[in-house]
């Protein structure tokens, strides 16, 4: 006899059970539909890559989190930790085959050996879409339109996309004679919503040793977008265009992008310029954006992205600019449940078809096939059992309906359908009528 | 400046480009639709597991192919090499939460460090579906019905599911006094189609040292299913029921399963008992099956499975029988292209909408959104360029249509649609008419 091994997952890893699996697949399917409708095609890269492809030996933090080892052939390999670096490698390797400009999406798991925290795992899914090889702001606008289309498709109507410009903020830091502190300034301004103005002022003064006047100027600039919106922002900020070329260009780009979004029919309450938006990643250089749900701001941005100057600098001397964003699937799944837009269900089936005796099996399976052809998702009870047991099974799985076809009903092609929630029960003389009842659910 | 790293994938690994990516997603979406319609729910398990969960130290061949290493915490871990072992672990770990009987599907990549061969990779996708916790033959029939439904859904009408019984073949070996050679006999009989009767006879006699009479009896048994089909098989084989209990039960099970399939409306040319079918994996114990495409038998089985007695024996003393099958996605993708049922396309978009000047961008993006709402997949050219360049782009991507809205057209809401294959061009006075033309494609 074999020894018994304890059934367990690795620390920081987890299984996805049917309830979450069903939600996740539905969400992914809806997001993909948007990607495809904008002409973005799916690509895949391996989970495993050469270590020197994924990181520089000088890479700091991420290096410690890597799942890195030598494979059977002695190669130094790593599990991918994001989908961006593999994408950069992909574009350089397949530049001729895919053609530039190039639009793609990728959905896949990545691995980071971080200390596991509540709700954070060492293997998790990323969902990225990018448009590379374009300088035009129409691409920036397109990515934002896609975020709005994703929200609409998944049924979230109350959201706002907050946009800013890295170029503009670098220009501001330059105008204030602290260009080298641009990144840190943005990191602190980004906390405005969370910690409030006083604390931000304190942090700018103490952490960055900025003089009082510089702090004042920073806060007064950010105040423009907290007190105004729409075109008024650009009127209020227009004086800053004269400060330097970066500020002029940054403001121009925001204004043009906003004009395309407005023209493309995106309602004005759905996008907002916000000079406190930082967006984490270092490689953004142009317009950046985050998406917040009006009813659940505390879960953070559910979709973020921006423009970068050069995606492929590790792999090629040719510059490749582009725009891209990431959908936070896990946050969206949590949000859709909290907002009661999606319900956790343990089975995809809408109806359990009972099986009363072994000799009924062929006819019951035929009935099930007929229902499926009519668009109903049907589970057949796997063996002849007492009706009570079959109902208990349906209850446990959360089936919406149980359909019963006993001896006499079967011979007449009739079907009794019981609504497991409402409790009502009716006998239909044809499969088509029964199917209609089930599809009209609730 | 950074050094440039060569953009390359690991030996035996590869990227999936948009053409194949689009086909694959479409196929997976269709297969999933079938799974859901039978009440099978998606689950996921991690790519990385404890090594002792995935293999026994005594496991032979598979051990050498494993991607095995110590993680940051010194744990002995492995990339999964199939989806079956993790599923066994999953069921034991979540037995209470998911409830038994349990139906699931899983689609994911697995890793095997084999010597790469043409068309075989070290990372590849598996697609499994299982129904566990059931003894009843209705479950065996259901899995076969699902295979037929998958074929129908993806548009393959000419296929045959060949079924056999492990129990029956073990009974035959027992009846011939060579029970210990049952596995080897089946392995050799399985080659009948490929190497012919003479070579099979030779192999049985020389490799297994079977006496002439035993070889004759084996071949004459297998001949039953090569010369007859349908119910005739069971009439011809009925005499064998008296040889022993295994043969009796094996034949009974095949007959009952065939009766359910027939009753459920599966055409009789779509499933066939074939006593030469072996099915590779060691753990099958009951009915097994393989699926061959009538027009492409050479690509081998595209969907195979069977019944096992005890999925979870490594993790629990409680027995868990079940049935399951695997869809050969890679083979199906190849088959669908060869049979010209799916065409390789490099973009999901049906139409490229041109952009003539920067100030048109808002209106063009609005037009694109209107077309998308009408169900058309639209790509917008990313920057104002000469029409010729935009047409070249559409050509390269293989767009079916180009839609042009210049200054005057834009102001009137008109749209000129050019059919890139047929060459015809027409101007429509509304977006709805243009959308209709595009959706009527070809």
**Quick one: average pLDDT of A3-17?**
95
pLDDT value at A110 more than 80:
yes
Give the integer Cα–Cα distance in Å for A297 and A280: 17
The CA radius of gyration of chain A, in Å to the nearest whole number, is: 28
- At A29-70, the pLDDT tens digits run 999 999 999 999 999 999 999 999 999 876 666 778 899 999
Looking up tokens 């190669």 gives: A75
Q: B356 vs A101, A307, B55, B295, CA distance in Å?
A: 17, 23, 61, 49
Q: What is the pLDDT of residue B141?
A: 97
Going by C-alpha positions, the residue among A271, A67, A306, A374 that lies closest to residue A169 is A306
Find the closest chain A residue to B105 by CA distance. A18
More confident residue, A118 or A373: A373
Question: What does the alpha-carbon distance between residue B168 and residue B301 come to, in Å, rounded to a whole number?
Answer: 21
Q: What is the mean pLDDT of residues A329-343?
A: 92
Mean pLDDT in residue range A258-268: 95
Averaged pLDDT score across all residues of chain B: 93
| pLDDT in the model for residue B140 | 97
A396 by DSSP, 3-state: which?
Answer: helix
CA dihedral over B323, B327, B328, B331, signed as positive or negative: positive
Q: Could you tell me which residues come within 8 angstroms of residue B208 by beta carbon, excluding any fewer than 6 positions away?
A: B178, B181, B184, B185, B188
A6 touches chain B (CB under 8 A): yes
Q: Check pLDDT > 90 for residue A251.
A: yes
Residue A105 sits at the chain B interface (C-beta within 8 Å) = no
* pLDDT surpasses 60 at B1: no
Q: Is the model's pLDDT at B2 over the cut of 70?
A: no
pLDDT for A342 equals 87
CA dist B389 and B382 (Å) reads: 12
- CA pair distance B349, A429, nearest whole angstrom: 45
Measure A432 CA to nearest chain B CA, in Å. Answer: 16
pLDDT above 90 for A282: no
Cα–Cα distances (Å) from B24 to A34, A227, A411, in that order, read 17, 49, 42
pLDDT of residue B64: 80
B142-191 pLDDT, tens digit per residue, is 999 999 999 999 999 999 999 999 999 999 999 999 999 999 999 999 99
The reported pLDDT for the residue numbered B208 is 95
pLDDT at residue A59 in the model: 60
* Length of chain B as a residue count: 442
A437, pLDDT greater than 80: yes
Q: Mean pLDDT, to the nearest integer, of A123-140?
A: 96
Q: What pLDDT score does A117 carry?
A: 75
Q: Could you read off the pLDDT of A206-229 as tens digits, one per residue?
A: 999 999 999 999 999 999 999 998
CB-based contact B397 A36, cutoff 8 Å: no
Give residues with Cβ within 8 angstroms of B91, minimum separation 6: B98, B100, B102, B132, B311, B312, B320
Instruction: Provide the pLDDT confidence category of residue B280 given band limits of 50, 70 and 90.
Output: confident
Q: What is the pLDDT of residue B442?
A: 53
pLDDT at B282: 74
Percentage of chain A with pLDDT > 70?
98
CB atoms within 10 A of CB A348: 24
Token pair for residue B357? Answer: 């000047």
Residues 6+ apart with CB under 8 A from A76: A50, A51, A52, A68, A70
Lookup result for tokens 């397109």: A142
The strand order across the sheet containing A378-380 reads A378-380, A351-353, A401-404, A415-419, A425-428
How many residues can be counted in chain A? Answer: 442
A319 touches chain B (CB under 8 A): no
> A67 vs B64: CB contact, 8 Å cut-off?
no
Q: How far apart are the first and last CA of chain A?
A: 51
In 3D space, the residue among B95, B35, B51, B97 whose CA is nearest the CA of residue B320 turns out to be B95
User: Structure tokens of B360?
Assistant: 């048109």
Residues of A in contact with B439 (CB under 8 A): none
Comparing CA positions, the residue from A365, A429, A342, A357 lying closest to residue A387 is: A357
Question: Residue B209, by phi and psi: left (phi above 0), alpha (psi -120 to 50) or beta?
Answer: left
Is A379 at the interface with chain B, CB within 8 A? yes
Kindly report the CA angle at A193 between A191 and A197, in degrees rounded to 5? 75
Burial class (CB in 10 A: 0-12, 13-18, 19+), B343: exposed
Measure the CA–CA gap between B122 and A363, rounded to whole angstroms.
Answer: 44
Per-residue confidence (pLDDT) for residue A422, from 0 to 100: 87
The pTM of the full predicted model, rounded to 2 decimals, is 0.94
Q: Given an 8 Å threshold on Cβ–Cβ distance, is B18 in contact with A41?
A: yes
Residues of A (197-226) whose Cβ lies below 8 Å from B: none
């Amino acid at each position: 006899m074999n020894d018994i091994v304890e059934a367990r997952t690795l620390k920081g890893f987890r299984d996805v059970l049917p309830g979450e699996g069903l939600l996740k697949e539905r969400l992914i399917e809806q997001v993909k539909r948007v990607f495809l409708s904008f002409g973005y095609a799916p690509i895949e890269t391996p989970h495993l890559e050469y270590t020197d492809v994924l990181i520089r030996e000088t890479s700091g933090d991420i290096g410690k989190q890597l799942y890195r080892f030598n494979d059977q052939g002695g190669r130094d390999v790593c599990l991918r930790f994001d989908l961006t670096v593999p994408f950069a490698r992909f574009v350089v390797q397949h530049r001729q085959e895919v053609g530039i400009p190039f639009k793609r999406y990728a959905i896949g798991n990545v691995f980071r050996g971080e200390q596991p925290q509540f709700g954070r795992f060492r293997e998790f899914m990323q969902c990225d879409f990018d448009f590379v090889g374009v300088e035009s702001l129409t691409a920036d606008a397109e990515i934002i339109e896609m975020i709005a289309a994703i929200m609409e498709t998944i049924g979230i109507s109350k959201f706002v996309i907050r946009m800013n410009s890295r170029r503009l903020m670098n220009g501001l830091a330059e105008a204030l004679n602290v260009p080298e502190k641009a990144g840190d300034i943005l990191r602190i301004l980004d906390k405005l919503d969370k910690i409030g103005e006083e604390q931000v002022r304190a942090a700018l003064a103490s952490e960055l040793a900025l003089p009082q006047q510089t702090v004042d100027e920073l806060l007064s600039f950010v105040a423009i977008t907290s007190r105004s919106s729409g075109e008024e922002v650009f009127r209020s900020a227009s004086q800053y265009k004269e400060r330097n070329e970066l500020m002029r260009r940054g403001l121009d780009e925001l204004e043009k992008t906003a004009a395309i979004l407005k023209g493309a029919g995106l309602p004005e309450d759905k996008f907002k310029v916000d000079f406190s938006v930082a967006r984490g990643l270092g490689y953004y250089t142009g317009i950046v954006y985050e998406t917040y749900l009006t009813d659940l701001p505390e879960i953070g941005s559910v979709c973020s992205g921006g423009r970068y100057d050069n995606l492929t600098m590790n792999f090629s001397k040719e510059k490749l600019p582009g725009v891209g964003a990431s959908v936070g699937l896990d946050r969206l799944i949590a949000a859709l449940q909290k907002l009661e837009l999606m319900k956790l269900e343990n089975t995809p089936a809408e109806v359990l078809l009972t099986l009363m005796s072994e000799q009924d099996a062929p006819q019951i399976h035929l009935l099930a096939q007929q229902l499926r052809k009519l668009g109903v998702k049907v589970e057949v009870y796997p063996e002849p059992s007492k009706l009570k047991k079959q109902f208990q099974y349906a209850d446990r799985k959360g089936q919406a309906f149980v359909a019963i076809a006993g001896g006499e009903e079967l011979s007449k092609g009739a079907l009794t359908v019981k609504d497991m929630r409402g409790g009502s029960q009716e006998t239909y003389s044809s499969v088509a009528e029964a199917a209609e009842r089930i599809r009209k659910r609730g």
